[in-house]
Structure formats: structure tokens, C-alpha cells
Structure 1
Amino acid sequence: MKTVRLILRYDAETIHPMHRFVADSDAFDEYRMVHGNFTGDDGDDNAFIFHVVGDPDVYEAALDETGRVNEYELTPTGDRSFTVYVRDAPANVDDRLLESFTRGSLVALPPLEYRSDWTVRFSVVGESEDIRRALADVPDGIETTVGRVGEYDGSDAAAGALTARQREALRVARDLGYFDVPRSASVEDVAGVLDCAPGTAAEHLRKAESAVMEALDL
């Protein structure tokens, strides 16, 4: 079974209005789809759960104005983080894209990361032929970049359990030597690169380590 890491770059005609809003706003730091139900009949809305770091009031006001959302519920999970359960009326391009990457042997691995550069980044597992067919069927207006390609070994589960900030903290800590034996960098060093307080850096590292350990099949 193959796994590929994909980057989908949307143009102004194909990007979802909420993705565009979050990407163009200074009120948000992170936007990820962590669960989705793609099994509705044609014409039905789809159900998703997003994890968002940012201003919930700004986000909710934008949801109310999209005209695409039939139902939603925001649940706070921290000082500036929240989850959103949303039922969304898909546009034609959304239906085609979802169909392409969920048919046959394909499984899209959460989370799907929605970036400020109008890209969505995620991994797909499946048979090579199904992956090639899905890539060929990506609608016009969406530019596809294929990242790493390999045999699926379950490693994406651990990476997918991390937030973007946690991955950044782990990368910085690794590069500085925080995980070396003996350790050659401190939490204060990591915090300096991340531009945050040492306590915040330590929390990012603890949560990242916990998430990776939970995701690994030991």
C-alpha cells in the first residue's frame, strides 16, 4: 500500500470561503480538519470537525455570513483554541475533490491542514492506480504538488497527531540538540527560537511527545 503527501493549492474560484477568510485574516494561527463524514448522498451536506487556533467570535461571524453552512457548533478547548462541528453545503468542486480522494482503496489521513497560502496539505493511503486516478481527476483551478511517496508503514499516524506548532517545536528542539544525549540545548534555547516563554515551549514539547506516543503502535 502506497502513501503520498499532497499539497493542493486553490485559486480564487475554487477556494472555500472559510478557508480564504481564515487565510487572509490575522485572527488565526491554525486551521485543521480532524474528522469528516464524506458518505452523504448527492446534494446532501457534509459534516466536518475542525480544530482552530484563533478568535472564535471572528470565526463564528464569518460562518454566519458564508451562505454555505447549514449547521455548526463551536466548543472552546483552550484560551484561543476551539473545535467546530459544521455541516457544509458543498460546491461542485468540493464534491468532485472529495469523491476523487475517498473512492476505491483510498483513505485520506487526518488532519487536513488549511494554510494561509491557500493550500491544503494531507496524506493519502491506497493502491497506486487509485492514487494516480485521483490526481488526474483533481478539478481545474487546483494545483497539485506531490511530496513524499513511499510504502505506508503507519508513521503518518504519529505525524498527523501533532499540531503545526507542536511539529515546529519538535523540529527546533531536534535541530538545536535538545534531544541529544547528552542534551546540548535547553528549553530556554527552544523558546528563544520559537519566540515564546520557556513554559510555553515546554508545554508544546510535552504535548507533542504525548501525542506521538499515543499514536504509535507499540
Structure 2
Amino acid sequence: MKTVRLTLRHDAETIHPMHRFVAESDAFESYRLVHGNFAGGDDNAFVFHVVGDPDIYEAALADTDRVDDYDLVRTGDRTFTVYVRDLPADVDTRLLETFTGGSLVVLPPLEYRSDWTVRFSVVGESADLQRALEGVPDGVEATVDRVGEYDGADAAVGALTARQREALRVAREAGYFAVPRSASVEDVAAELDCAPGTAAEHLRKAEATVMDALDL
């Protein structure tokens, strides 16, 4: 079974208003869809994990006409989970049908990014994956980031934010995980251009995320 890591780039006509709002706001650091009911119908049910300002997010959520119902649960000062009954536009329905048809399975999380892109992985047979890529609707540009045999690794890697992946990559290349360790948190922070405390926090959260995603 093949796995494809994809980036979908939306234009101004196809981007979801909540994705656009989060992308254009400085109040959010991470926006990921972690569970979803992809069965189709009049609306779709999704669960998002968000790092950012819950008050600003909820005000925008209540103001959009694309959401039928929602339930926001705060899990920390700047972290929250939101259950959404989303009213899909035509492009959303077509994308869901494209990437869930035949043998295809979408692997959460779906990472909604500030450049109007969505990154996620899909597992399935080669013919169905090719069909899906050819069926991406107008207004959405698909880029294949990686293709390989499915080995379950996406569950752990895909759960990381872009900054967490970067922190782990820099730490590995610097020798932070070597035995014996040949780089310090300060070395990693210098490469990431951030404070040592921030680098340590990125690494701690990344390690916890990977461990939680592994089926041990």
C-alpha cells in the first residue's frame, strides 16, 4: 500500500473562511484537524486542536455562516479543542470525495497553515492515489511532498507541527540525540534562532507528541 504526503494550496475563492481567518491572524500558532466524519451529507463533523487565542477564534466562529454548530473546550491558556458541524462548500465536498474514494484513507492530522495550504497524508492503492491527484478541483493546487510504502510512520510524523519537525530535524543534525550527546539545547536554539527555553519547549512537546502517536 502506498502513502502520499500532500500539500494543497487554496486560492481566495476556495479557502475556508476559518482557515483564512486563522492564517491572517497573529493570534494562532497551530491549527490542525485531528478527527472527522467524512461520510458526507448536509454537514460534516470535525474536531480541531488549536494553539492560540480561544476568544478571538470563537468570535470568528460564531460570525461565519459556514458553521452550523460548535463546541469549544479550553485545554490550557492558549490551547483548545473545537468540535464543529461544518456546512461544506462545493469545493469541500469535491475534495472529500476525491481523497476518500475507493481504497483511500486520509491520515489525520490535517495541518492548516498560514500560507493557505493544508498538509496531510493519504494511504491507498496507486491507481486511486493517481486518480485523486488528477481530480483535484480548480482553485486548489496539489503538490506531492513525499511518496513511499506505508509503514505507519506518518502517524507520528504527521502529528507534529512544522516548527516541532524543524526543531527535531535541527537537533538530530546537530547531535542533540547522539550518544554521547554532542550538542546542547543552546546549540539547537542558535540554529532555530530562538531562546534556549523556547527550543527546549519545542523539543519537549515534539518528543511527547511522537511518543503519544506510537503504538507501543
Provide the TM-score with structure 2 as the length reference.
Answer: 0.93
Q: Summarize deviations over 1:92-143 as a string: whole Å, max 9, x none.
A: 1100100110111100111111111111111100001111111111110101
Equivalent position of 2:9 in the other structure: 9
Unaligned runs of 5+ in 2: none
What's the offset of the Cα at 1:163? 2.9
Equivalent position of 2:138 in the other structure: 140
Q: Summarize deviations over 1:182-208 as a string: whole Å, max 9, x none.
A: 212112222344455544433432332
Equivalent position of 2:39 in the other structure: 39
Equivalent position of 2:74 in the other structure: 76
Classify the secondary structure of the residue corresponding to 2:183. Answer: coil
Q: State which of 136, 149, 156 in structure 2 corresponds to 1:158.
A: 156
Equivalences for residues 60-71 of structure 1 within 5 A: 60-71=58-69
Q: Percent identity of the aligned residues? A: 80
One-letter amino acid of the structure 1 residue matched with residue 214 of structure 2: L
Q: Does the aligned pair in 1 maintain the 2:11–2:140 contact within 8 Å?
A: yes
**Residues in 1 aligned to 2:214 and 2:55: alpha-carbon distance in whole angstroms:** 36
Structure 1 residues 144 and 87: CA distance shift in structure 2, 3 A: same
Q: State which of 97, 100, 103 in structure 2 corresponds to 1:102.
A: 100
Equivalent position of 2:27 in the other structure: 27
One-letter amino acid of the structure 1 residue matched with residue 64 of structure 2: T
**Residues in 1 aligned to 2:104 and 2:86: alpha-carbon distance in whole angstroms:** 22
Where in structure 1 do 4 or more consecutive aligned residues deviate above 6 Å?
Answer: none
**Residues in 2 aligned to 1:95 and 1:106: alpha-carbon distance in whole angstroms:** 16
Equivalences for residues 159-198 of structure 1 within 5 A: 159-198=157-196
One-letter amino acid of the structure 2 residue matched with residue 35 of structure 1: H
The reply on whether 1:118 has 2:116 as its aligned counterpart is: yes
Q: State which of 190, 202, 206 in structure 1 corresponds to 2:200.
A: 202
Is 192-201 or 81-90 further displaced after alignment?
A: 192-201
Q: State which of 41, 46, 49 in structure 2 corresponds to 1:48.
A: 46
Aligned residues: 216
Structure 1 residues 142 and 40: CA distance shift in structure 2, 3 A: closer
What's the offset of the Cα at 1:73? 1.3
**Residues in 1 aligned to 2:87 and 2:94: alpha-carbon distance in whole angstroms:** 13
**Residues in 2 aligned to 1:210 and 1:28: alpha-carbon distance in whole angstroms:** 21
Q: Summarize deviations over 1:41-99 as a string: whole Å, max 9, x none.
A: 3xx11011111111111111111111110111111222211111111000011001001
Is 51-60 or 194-203 further displaced after alignment?
A: 194-203
Unaligned runs of 5+ in 1: none
